[in-house]
Amino acid sequence: MKENAYEMPWRTNYEAMAAAGWLVGATGAIAAEMLTELPPEPFWWMTGISSGMALYRLPEA
């Protein structure tokens, strides 16, 4: 049986908001990498981590 098989139907969908927040973070990292002269590697890492967290949250949304 699935761990979260029962959920209240009126519960706010926090997972979708979390996934959207992670996607905004990934987009911001890409934009910052394109618009600044800073080394790109930290932005690549942030984009990858943010995208991974968004993918982790999407199935529950």
- pTM for the complete prediction? 0.81
pLDDT one-digit tens code per residue, 12-59: 889 999 999 999 999 999 999 999 999 999 999 999 999 999 999 998
Tracing tokens 């984009």 back to the chain, one arrives at 47
Between the CA of residue 41 and those of 1, 10, 21, 25, what are the distances in Å?
A: 42, 42, 21, 15
* Per-residue pLDDT at 7 exceeds 60: yes
